[in-house]
Structure 1
Amino acid sequence: MLRYLDHVRFEKRLAERTSTLYRLDLIRLAEMAQASGVPLLQVQTGHIRRWVAQMHSAGRSGRGIALILSGWRGFYTWLGREALVSHNPVVDVRAPRVAKPLPKALGVDEAVQLADHEETGDDPWLEARDAAMVELLYGCGLRVAELTGLDVVASADASRAGRGWIDLQNAEVQVQGKGSKRRSVPLGSAAMAALAHWLALRPQVPGMLTQAVPGASSAALALFPGQRGTRLSARGVEQRLQRRSQLAGLATPVHPHMLRHSFASHVLQSSGDLRAVQELLGHANITTTQVYTRLDFQHLAKAYDAAHPRAKRK
């Protein structure tokens, strides 16, 4: 073991901190092997799997176990090169899967609070623009790139460039999603009202056009421009949304994708129609959409804990 640690430190020239972690992992390996009554050179894959299970049941995270296994795997690889073992018992062992965190979503009241907030300190067109952006992010479940890619009207250039547009006549937003896939998302009454108000003030922004003109720049047709007349960036949307959520009194800053998660979660809670949510979000695979069923179950579990007499623990 000491020879291997010298190899790690001097030949591989790993950092002091990394060498220390390797040493601690090997000490753990030696202790587990000793407790099982097996010499280090005779450890089998079954032993490694059992020790992984023990570490996992003791509360060590899957990521932590993966790092330990990486150190052990390197040790037995070196032993194999030194002809001290015939096979690497760690090579086919993997750490337990790390559970994917649930997407962060606002509660219904919080989402409505954000959408209804009015900021009187801004220029009227800025407030109207930000309100319309919130309605499209939360009311339609758009990705931030889909939002910033929207034009005020349809144009051949927009179609070629992979941008979407607003179709107020049919109460739809035409979206260019991932993989260059287009989809139509219905506009609710709140989104329609916010867009109508914003489009009435949009000409106040320098250089903005209200109809497709041959040769017009992308920025001139952008549904959501910045203060300099250029197409608003994803980072610009994030900054405005964080500011708005704080001014609205929400406990945590809101980012655009949180509103997409909120849209999906709230539609699923109300309808229970997973396939419809998949279509609205533009997911190619329904397994991607199924994560929102976990959020929905969380909502039901909280309601049960709060309301059912048998759920209340003494």
Structure 2
Amino acid sequence: MEQDPLAVLEAVRHRSPAVRPLVPDESVWPGVADPETLRDQLLDWLSQYANAGTRRTYAYALGLPITWIDPAAAPERPGPPAAPPGPLHDLAWFRFCARRALDPRDATAGHVKAWLHALDAAGAQRRTRQRMLSTLSALYGHLAETGAVAANPAALNRARLGLSSSARESSPTVRLTAEQLKALLLSAARLPYSRSPRLARLYALRAVAVVALLTLGLRISELVGLDRDDLYRTGGDEVVRVLGKGGLHREVYLTDLAREALTAYLTERDRLGGTAAPARRGRTLAGGSPMISTRDGGRCSRVDLYTLLRRIATHAGPALDGVADRVHPHALRHAYVTIALEQDARIQHVQADVGHATIATTEHYDRGLRSRASTAADLVAAAIAAAPDPAP
């Protein structure tokens, strides 16, 4: 069987980057004479980002194998087959170049514009094209700085392309109400786990903890990156230290809702694991242990939690009718912001809570001014608690 000429751009399991040289008789990168050098240049760029979730997102968006930067990102596991590639799969930038036998370092502004037009023709929304162009521009900015390319071909006039940052559309994210968030919490608690009855309580408590943490406005990448050591007390309050975009940390205050859900989950997890210190008070003894883990103690992936949340929404009953298939982690982050503002929270507090670094008043927010009174978390939790119980 003829070898796929794009094999180098597909995830290859069972092999780690350290033991997988790109030799001509094993893998071919069309148009690239020195694939090892290009790979090292790309990994050098990705290594600048402290957040592993950011590295994986950028690699995936550009069409690079996730196993290059995270060999454990796609472990073999029993279960249903992976979903088929989406309509934009072959239009990831490096696949676009490879199908034209174009060395990405020789790309011009004309190639980038042709790629953007192809994305548009394939149905990519403006926000998607904005995001993909921004990622590409960041990559080529680095390659230009290091001398790998002469100039940045993605430094285009975005206004002419209809992709300027001021050209904003209404968000396609479903708007969830406080009542719907409560329905998700109740659904998580009663989610059926017929295949593992002995672990049913653990899995239900984990599901509730995931939803409760997402009601704090966390990004999904921030949630999966949390360790138990990130939970501690400051100023008399319990917080989680979250690693956000740009490698910046922020403190997120735990609501009673999130604290109780997390305590119940960690206590049950420790009980089943035989840990001597079942709960946690102050800084935990479980250094390096993921906050939300698989049954074997590994770190859950974003796909794991996305799938879990969609399953929770599907079982949430009438409150989620018509929107269950549109519920995803960012929808809960979106809900945090909208509910907080509806409850008259100060917008500066909300921006600080969710780590919106693009807002000048938040980007350089003085951590010394952060306190329990300067977070909208309790307002959002109170709105969820006050929401009427969904119809059975």
TM-score (norm 2): 0.42
2:250–2:355 CA contact under 8 A, matched in 1 = yes
Is 1:245–2:337 an aligned residue pair? no
Q: Tell me by how many angstroms 1:207 deviates.
A: 8.8
* Gap change, CA 1:115 and 1:177, over 3 Å in 2: same
2:220–2:330 CA contact under 8 A, matched in 1 = yes
Question: How many positions carry a matched residue from both structures?
Answer: 184
Q: Tell me by how many angstroms 1:101 deviates.
A: 2.9
* Secondary structure in 2 matching 1:171: strand
1:146–1:177 CA contact under 8 A, matched in 2 = yes
Match of 1:131 in 2: 208
Match of 2:329 in 1: 256
* Gap change, CA 1:208 and 1:182, over 3 Å in 2: farther
Match of 1:193 in 2: 260
CA distance, structure 2, for counterparts of residue 189 and residue 107 of structure 1: 19
- 1:268 corresponds, among 341, 345, 352, to 341
* Secondary structure in 1 matching 2:260: helix
Q: Tell me by how many angstroms 1:105 deviates.
A: 2.4
CA distance, structure 2, for counterparts of residue 111 and residue 92 of structure 1: 37
1:113–1:248 CA contact under 8 A, matched in 2 = yes
1:55-100 CA distance string (max 9 Å, x none)? xxxxxxx97xxxxxxxxxxxxxxxxxxxxxxxxxxx9993667642
1:108-160 CA distance string (max 9 Å, x none)? 2111211233225231001101101100101x10011111111112xxxxxxx
Structure having the larger proportion of residues in helix: 1
* Gap change, CA 1:271 and 1:208, over 3 Å in 2: farther
**Residue correspondence of structure 1 range 215-294 to structure 2 within 5 A:** 218=288, 221-249=289-317, 250-251=320-321, 252-253=324-325, 254-286=327-359
2:239–2:251 CA contact under 8 A, matched in 1 = yes
Match of 2:50 in 1: none
| Identical counterparts, % of pairs | 30
- Corresponding letter in the other structure for 2:192: G
1:264–1:277 CA contact under 8 A, matched in 2 = yes
Match of 2:170 in 1: 101
* Gap change, CA 1:93 and 1:125, over 3 Å in 2: closer
1:174–1:182 CA contact under 8 A, matched in 2 = yes
- 2:217 corresponds, among 107, 127, 141, to 141
* Gap change, CA 1:208 and 1:222, over 3 Å in 2: farther
Q: Tell me by how many angstroms 1:167 deviates.
A: 2.1
Match of 1:83 in 2: none
Match of 1:111 in 2: 181
Q: Which runs of 5+ in 1 are unaligned?
A: 1-61, 64-90, 154-164, 290-314
- Corresponding letter in the other structure for 2:179: D
- 2:232 corresponds, among 167, 170, 173, to 167
* Gap change, CA 1:96 and 1:224, over 3 Å in 2: closer
CA distance, structure 2, for counterparts of residue 135 and residue 279 of structure 1: 19
- Corresponding letter in the other structure for 1:149: G
CA distance, structure 1, for counterparts of residue 347 and residue 355 of structure 2: 12
Q: Tell me by how many angstroms 1:286 deviates.
A: 2.1
- Corresponding letter in the other structure for 1:101: S
Q: Tell me by how many angstroms 1:199 deviates.
A: 1.4
Q: Tell me by how many angstroms 1:204 deviates.
A: 4.8
Match of 1:151 in 2: 227
* Gap change, CA 1:180 and 1:93, over 3 Å in 2: closer
CA distance, structure 1, for counterparts of residue 221 and residue 159 of structure 2: 40
Match of 1:177 in 2: 244
1:150–1:222 CA contact under 8 A, matched in 2 = yes
CA distance, structure 2, for counterparts of residue 242 and residue 176 of structure 1: 25
Q: Tell me by how many angstroms 1:196 deviates.
A: 1.3
Report runs of 4+ in structure 1 exceeding 3 Å deviation: 91-99, 204-213
CA distance, structure 2, for counterparts of residue 241 and residue 129 of structure 1: 11
* Gap change, CA 1:202 and 1:288, over 3 Å in 2: farther
2:191–2:315 CA contact under 8 A, matched in 1 = no
1:205–1:229 CA contact under 8 A, matched in 2 = no
* Gap change, CA 1:99 and 1:167, over 3 Å in 2: same
Q: Which runs of 5+ in 2 are unaligned?
A: 1-124, 127-156, 194-199, 278-283, 363-392
Which structure would you say has the larger Rg?
Answer: 1
* Secondary structure in 2 matching 1:150: coil
CA distance, structure 1, for counterparts of residue 205 and residue 226 of structure 2: 16
